[in-house]
Structure 1
């Protein structure tokens, strides 16, 4: 893909993230997850993770971020968890379980990433990372 094509895809996904349709927003979250470091994308992903209209958007976006298997993806989910209501938290936790806790490798990776995020400068992220280590990584 050329840079122009990437920019067009990113622009399209950012526009879709504002759709009235939950399925279009969920697909946008999945498409944007791979570009979480791009300017302006993190705020949109955060909004999709906390989507107040449909939990499928929350779940799909969280799963896509977690499937990255990196600090950035997990950190974004933890940021959302730190401010989510109980219902949304359940869906975010469910995404962590389904993506990261279905194999020994997944659990090991979750523990490794969470161990790094325990030292995050943002207390809400370090607290969520500590909770993950207590709840999931010790299974």
Structure 2
């Protein structure tokens, strides 16, 4: 487990994810995004994606997950979108735009990832992927 290993560089990211400073939490989200598939990291990322104190933490964490360019990162962002309030949802959508809608390649990648998630075992994730596919098809 990552948390209990003080020699692991992510140990400080777990600590920083609880910092009172939004910038420290945002940086922790960026560091943890690289290990998003780790069962100990996922719940911390979920909390940072829905940070109740500062939407910059939300957006930085979401962008880092999306920059992974894989289904796992996008799935976590879509999961957050499902339960986010309007303001947080706007920042999650902005992260998708910032990462995927700046180039043809990014948009193509977004379409491919969403197409894979449309049939996710969690119907809500599938619906959110479908919404993103239809809304962001014209970036």
Q: Quote the residue 1:62 is aligned against.
A: 62
Tell me what 2:102 maps to: 102
- Tell me the SS of whatever aligns to 1:13: helix
TM-score norm. by structure 2 comes to 0.93
| 1:6 CA drift (Å) | 9.2
Q: 1:69 to 1:6 in 2, by over 3 A?
A: farther
Q: Under a length normalisation based on structure 1, what TM-score does the superposition of the two structures give?
A: 0.93
Q: Is the 8 A contact 1:117 1:125 kept in 2?
A: yes
Question: What residue in structure 1 maps to residue 15 of structure 2?
Answer: 15
- Deviation track 1:79-133 (CA, whole Å, cap 9, x = no partner) reads 0000000000000000000100111100000000000000001111101100011
List aligned pairs for 1:1-139, cutoff 5 A.
8-139=8-139
Name the SS for the 1:95 alignment partner.
helix
Unaligned runs of 5+ residues in structure 2 are: none
Number of residue pairs matched by the alignment: 135
How far off is 1:40 after superposition? 1.2
Q: What do you get for the CA RMSD once the two structures are aligned? A: 1.4
Task: Return the alpha-carbon distance in structure 2 between the equivalents of residues 9 and 76 of structure 1.
Answer: 22
8 Å contact from structure 1 (residues 108, 137) kept in 2: no
User: 1:21 Cα shift?
Assistant: 0.7
Q: Which runs of 5+ in 1 are unaligned?
A: none
Q: Secondary structure at the match of 2:8?
A: helix
Q: Kindly tell me: are residues 15 and 81 of structure 1, through their superposed partners in 2, closer, same or farther at Cα, counting changes over 3 Å?
A: same
